[in-house]
Chain A
């Protein structure tokens, strides 16, 4: 079963990877121009015809997009990433997708010359689509690692929203705003590599400790794997863009960049940018729901299977590695200033602008544009939250009561320790599936409820079909099959027909070369 899944994952990965590489090769080929010099400096100085540069962007979106997991080219990612061992998954999701992002930034911002405004439109649409569809898939997964893989798709979408904004500002010579968007985007890529690795390590611990990655069979791990739970929770908070962790800072910066876009002259962008802002906020909120579900079902409540009941904590070293990641997440969230400053040479190079230098003191806060517009101090928020909770605990414990009594949970007077009397992951996601599902799925639900007195089991059947598979891949698949069927006859020609075909092809090529030159 698992083998068949892995084989399928491998096959899809192979196909998509070849496709992506092909697109990248073509893009580089176009960039190199007639002289065929592939050095960055040569490409940078070469003149790019606008439509050719546009073609490069499209090819880069297809190539780098498929490697990064941009919708609708993401289909391999949720299959391949979970199939690998967890530390490799962490590497694939956390780091390898960023390489594709790097490639995209390098080519589109650096090498391809002046961007046209419609580039931003394309990137924004794909980014917003990836963010929302990715998280919608993630929220419905019951395989912990696949959930994380889909969440990678979401975060890649967020990064591309930032890049799209950067392109929009760059094409309109708004260097400061472009710097903000690009810095935010790269910062988010950095953050994502941290917390996604942390989460994949956590999922790996769960797999090692319990042998399960189906969250419907987990539960209560907080008692048996307390440190993993603690670390995984940190990752969940960070990825759900909650202050005072780092995920919030980068998403906050992207939102700040969006607020600068009314100055954009193009109408299409003026409408698209706020819409993608809404999509970004929606994705962040759905991500919170997704990770409440992931953490709540996996680590909280009662064990749903013997595997979860007998789970054990993993070795110290595995835990320590994760602590280092969590600490960096916290530092990047509480003191983001130095990180942003460190990125300013990058934005200087890419969009010829930089964010204002972040003051180390007096407030330890970050300032995207100017202090009067907006500022955020992760440190103070963190400090205030800690102080307020500490004060509340101290006051109540010292002046009121600190007595605790343990008792069975409230069971409405009908004791039933069975684990089925708690929410399942599928149940938790059902309302979201019902409300948002039609965006991404074609759902079919049928229900048979026996009449009173009929002891037959009641039955609910549910089938969810991914619209992207159905609308894009299935037609391509059937077209390929159809073409293959038709071309099949070529296998059964006479030697004379083959020779004439080869001759015809040769002539065609010669004619093409002649006209091209």
Chain B
């Protein structure tokens, strides 16, 4: 346990029951100190969310991957800005301002973010005062120099991708500044996760970002299980990992092809597209849904793997064919010329923003939630997290290639060692009781009142964070989710430095951040 965590625990006003990591309420001074410590690089900011009257900040201990949530009461609607000293928090704070109306004191950036002036109200989760649109244009950040032009791309793109606006200030092909304007797919996830049933909440969370539905369901299930103290059968734990790896495999294959396609190398997209399709079909056969949506529920999984043969056949086929495509990538000089040294993200920035997933691992940040904090069954599995230092598009492709092999390895291990037994424990009786695993079985304890759970799962983009507060009947009082893209998006603005306009699509695709997961 790092000194920071010890110090924070000592300074805590109260320590709340939150599983598996504690949540502490702190005063404004401790909050500020924690912020400074994060900005100094002693810990990583992992999440920032609000509820009426309180702010929560999830802090990741870089030493052992343990999390801690800091809570600050905000009786007067203000809190000390985290973004003032730690820029990665800025967009999260701007979202909180837009949704809750809480004011971050001293924030450098008071522009609206999620609120595009179309809601008719301000702070819908706070006062909800009605406010007619003022029509003021969004003030983009400045760029100076010889006559520059701006390129406004999106939110409606020519391709079938999610909406987001990008504003380039450029001199010819030289990009002087890139600024993102997101928030077009705001769905009100936070309100949907307030005072609802566990089932409804599970459905909502599974749909936060459709391509990571397994990771989200996984995280939600673990958070709910932690909050409710519910156990999960071994077979379900292993099946969950199987689904998570299949999802990662499918998405990485798709990404590798799509990145190459943005360099007009359609051959790779064709090959990888076929492989991805085969993965999805195998998933459909094995679990009844191509994307395995809603297959993981609190307490277990809903579909069992009756016959592992299709999955085995799948891994064999991919192992036969994928190396050829890797070789094709490696031997096509014209393609390498596009990816090598393009879109460089410095390890320093990656570390400061705590960016996870292939983007972080391509820039030397080895963080992988499967290793640390870690969750079952990965402790029993043999794998190593891919890592590269170059931080360019090429490195991001190679990390994905390595992870495809790693996922294949994991899938094979899981299939070989899949335990037998039930795939889910009934959740219903546990709702009124607390079930605590003990030596020799499960003990039942009466439940008292609200309880909280926190879970972090490694999706294909990086670490997904879900926080949940449930009441005594198993209903969801509040929930918060944080997509890995939240910390990846801002870095895309930095990765374009030194590149030309025409290389942006390649940089963007190599990041492949989620719009939906970011806009919530």
Contact = CB atoms under 8 A, between A and B. Distances in A.
A349 B329 CA distance: 68
B149 A427 contact: yes
A450 to B, nearest CB: 8
Interface in A458-508: 458-462
Contact of B141 (A423, A429, A431, A455): A455
Contact of B152 (A412, A424, A433): A412
B157 interface: yes
Contact of A454 (B87, B157, B498): B87
Nearest to A464: B146
A39 interface: no
- Size class of the contact patch on chain A: 35 or more
Given A412-B154, A414-B152, A422-B149, A460 B174 contact: yes
B163 interface: yes
Interface in A364-379: none
A461 B172 CA distance: 14
A341 interface: no
Interface in B111-154: 137, 141-154
Contacts of B147: 142, 216, 424-427
Nearest to A423: B149
Contact of B148 (A142, A434, A452, A460): A460
Given A430-B172, A449-B177, A460 B87 contact: no
A414 B170 CA distance: 18
A431 B149 contact: no
Contacts of A453: 83, 87-88, 90, 108-109, 490
A345 B233 CA distance: 106
A423 B149 CA distance: 5
Contacts of B102: none
A413 interface: yes
Given A426-B172, A458-B177, A460-B144, A412 B157 contact: yes
B276 to A, nearest CB: 28
A412 B157 CA distance: 6
B87 A430 contact: no
B144 A459 contact: yes
A423 B171 CA distance: 9
B171 A458 contact: no
Interface string B154-174: 111100000101000111111
Interface string B386-417: 00000000000000000000000000000000
A429 B172 contact: yes
Contact of B174 (A414, A421, A430, A455): A430
Interface in A403-430: 411-414, 416, 418, 420-430
Nearest to B492: A452
Interface string B414-428: 000000000000000
A435 B246 CA distance: 47
A457 interface: yes
A426 B149 CA distance: 9
Contacts of B142: 457-458
Contacts of A429: 172
A447 interface: yes
Contact of A416 (B137, B144, B145, B497): B137
A501 to B, nearest CB: 53
A451 interface: yes
B494 interface: yes
Contact of B172 (A142, A422, A428, A455): A428
A457 B155 CA distance: 24
Interface string A386-410: 0000000000000000000000000
Contacts of A411: 152
Given A420-B150, A427-B172, A452-B493, A459 B145 contact: yes
A482 to B, nearest CB: 35
B150 A447 contact: no
Contacts of B155: 412-414
A452 B353 CA distance: 10
Interface centre among A413, A427, A454 (most CB of B within 10 A): A427
A430 B490 contact: no
B149 A421 contact: yes
B176 interface: yes
Contacts of A427: 147-149, 170-172
A460 B494 contact: no
Contacts of B152: 411-412, 414, 416, 421
B491 interface: yes
Contacts of A428: 172
Nearest to A463: B146
A424 B170 CA distance: 10
A453 B94 CA distance: 12
Contact of A460 (B143, B173, B490): B143
Contacts of B165: 412, 414
Interface string A430-447: 110110000000000101
A462 B109 CA distance: 29
Pick from B109, B143, B153, B165 the residue with the most CB of A within 10 Å.
Answer: B143
B171 A462 contact: yes
Contacts of B145: 459-462
Contacts of A458: 141-144, 169, 176-177
A449 B494 contact: yes
A424 B148 contact: yes
B457 to A, nearest CB: 25
A439 B151 CA distance: 30
B349 interface: yes
Given A414-B165, A447-B174, A451-B349, A457 B154 contact: no
- Residue from B149, B153, B493 with most neighbouring chain A CB atoms (10 Å): B149
Contact of A420 (B149, B172, B490): B149
B163 A413 contact: yes
Given A426-B172, A431-B173, A455-B108, A421 B494 contact: no
Interface in A125-166: 142
B497 A449 contact: yes
B352 to A, nearest CB: 9
A416 B154 CA distance: 12
Contacts of B137: 416, 418
Interface centre among A418, A422, A447 (most CB of B within 10 A): A447
Nearest to B90: A453
Contacts of B154: 412-414
Given A412-B157, A416-B152, A421-B151, A462 B146 contact: yes
A53 to B, nearest CB: 49
A452 B172 contact: no
Contact of A426 (B87, B146, B151): B146
B244 to A, nearest CB: 29
B174 A452 contact: no
A426 B171 contact: yes
Interface in B70-106: 83, 87-88, 90
Nearest to B165: A414
A465 to B, nearest CB: 15
Interface of A: 142, 216, 411-414, 416, 418, 420-431, 433-434, 445, 447, 449-455, 457-462
Given A412-B154, A412-B156, A431-B172, 20 more contacts: A412-B153, A413-B163, A414-B155, A414-B181, A418-B137, A420-B149, A422-B149, A426-B146, A430-B172, A447-B174, A447-B497, A449-B497, A452-B349, A453-B90, A455-B109, A457-B142, A458-B141, A458-B176, A459-B143, A460-B148
- Which 3 residue pairs across A and B have the least CB separation, nearest first? A430-B172, A453-B87, A460-B145
28 contacts: A216-B147, A412-B153, A412-B157, A414-B165, A418-B137, A418-B150, A420-B149, A421-B149, A421-B150, A426-B146, A426-B171, A427-B147, A428-B172, A431-B172, A434-B172, A447-B174, A449-B177, A450-B141, A450-B177, A452-B349, A453-B88, A457-B141, A457-B143, A458-B141, A458-B143, A458-B169, A459-B144, A462-B145
Interface of B: 83, 87-88, 90, 108-109, 137, 141-157, 163, 165, 169-174, 176-177, 181, 349, 353, 490-491, 493-494, 497-498
